[in-house]
């Protein structure tokens, strides 16, 4: 059984994952209209993953006797300036999500809710991976600078990362 405090914190995380999905969906759409196909594919996939993170939490809350609440979301931005800035935003957003997961883990310890604490370890591990991936991409962006040919190769590289990671088991599998 979830304490009210843990349930509230989990519901907050459900909203954050849903908003993350919308943010990446908006980034995907922006990249698509700019002709950045690989980047768009990557962002569509990130958006799908965030939705799965949200669903996994919803199932958990309801299974543990709580009520997962689907709430109103903040609208994401629709313009991102440049793909460099967009990936910086993705990285910053993942740091924000990691901090939020850490807070959530902290609440479960305060409440001595070891079942939820155990469940959240998957999210802790996932955040390490997502931060590492975003950092790798930012490093690549720094390497290419403003080179047009570099952008073409970068877009293809990001597409390759997307295809490779799509072959790995998903969060619900
Ligand atoms: Fe669900 Fe990218 O954090």
- Tell me whether residue 39 is in a domain: yes
pLDDT digits (tens, 9 = 90+) for 110-128: 999 999 999 999 999 999 9
Residue 69 has φ and ψ, to the nearest 5°, of -105, 130
**Residue whose CA is closest, atom 2 of ligand 1?**
94
- SS3 at position 70: coil
Ligand 1 atom with the smallest distance to the CA of 123 is 1
- List Cα–Cα distances, 64 to 2, 11, 92, 111, 159, in angstroms: 6, 13, 32, 15, 38
**Which pLDDT tens digit goes with each residue over 68-83?**
999 999 999 999 999 9
Chain segment 27-41, per-residue pLDDT in tens? 999 999 999 999 999
CA–centroid distance, residue 38 to ligand 1 (Å): 20
- For the chain, what percent of residues have pLDDT higher than 70? 97
d(CA 170, CA 51): 12
Ligand 1 atom with minimal separation from the 54 CA: 1
- Chain position carrying tokens 């949200």: 54
Range of the structural domain that residue 51 is part of:
4-160
114 within some domain: yes
With respect to residue 172, please indicate whether it lies within any of the assigned structural domains.
no
Q: How far is the CA of 148 from the centre of ligand 1 (A)?
A: 30
168 assigned to some structural domain? no
Cα 149 to ligand 1 centroid, rounded to whole Å = 31
In this structure, are residues 105 and 120 in contact, taking their beta carbons and an 8 Å threshold?
Answer: yes
Q: Which residue has the higher pLDDT, 157 or 30?
A: 30
Q: Is residue 110 part of a domain?
A: yes
Cα(123) to centroid of ligand 1, in Å? Answer: 8
The total domain count for the chain is 1
The CA distances from residue 115 to 64, 96, 103, 111, in Å, are 10, 24, 16, 11
pLDDT at 173: 44
Q: What is the pLDDT of residue 150?
A: 87
Looking at residue 55, which CATH number applies to its domain? Answer: 1.20.1260.10
| pTM of the predicted model over 0.75 | yes
Q: How far apart are CA 1 and CA 106, in angstroms?
A: 18
Lining ligand 1 with CB less than 6 A are: 17, 20, 50, 53, 94, 97, 130
Rounded CA-CA distance 171/45 in Å is 13
Per-residue pLDDT at 147:
83
Q: Is residue 166 part of a domain?
A: no
Q: Are 69 and 2 in contact (CB under 8 A)?
A: no
Distance 14 CA to ligand 1 centre (A): 11
Atom of ligand 1 nearest to the CA of 50: 1
CA of 98, closest atom in ligand 1: 3
- Is 165 inside a domain boundary? no
Would residue 169 count as lying in a domain? no
């Amino acid at each position: 059984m979830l304490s009210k405090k843990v349930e509230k914190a989990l519901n907050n995380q459900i909203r954050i994952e849903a908003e993350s999905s919308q943010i990446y969906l908006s980034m995907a759409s922006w990249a698509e209209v700019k002709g950045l196909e690989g980047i768009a594919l990557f962002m569509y996939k990130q958006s799908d993953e965030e939705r799965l993170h949200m669903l996994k939490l919803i199932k958990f809350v309801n299974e543990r006797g709580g009520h997962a609440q689907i709430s109103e979301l903040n609208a994401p931005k629709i313009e991102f300036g440049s793909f460099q800035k967009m990936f910086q935003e993705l990285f910053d957003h993942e740091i924000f999500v990691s901090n939020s997961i850490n807070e959530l883990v902290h609440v479960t310890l305060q409440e001595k809710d070891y079942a939820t604490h155990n469940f959240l370890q998957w999210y802790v591990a996932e955040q390490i991976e997502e931060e590492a991936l975003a950092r790798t991409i930012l490093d690549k962006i720094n390497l290419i600078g403003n080179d047009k040919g570099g952008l073409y190769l970068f877009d293809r590289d990001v597409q390759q990362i997307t295809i490779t990671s799509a072959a790995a088991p998903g969060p619900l599998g």
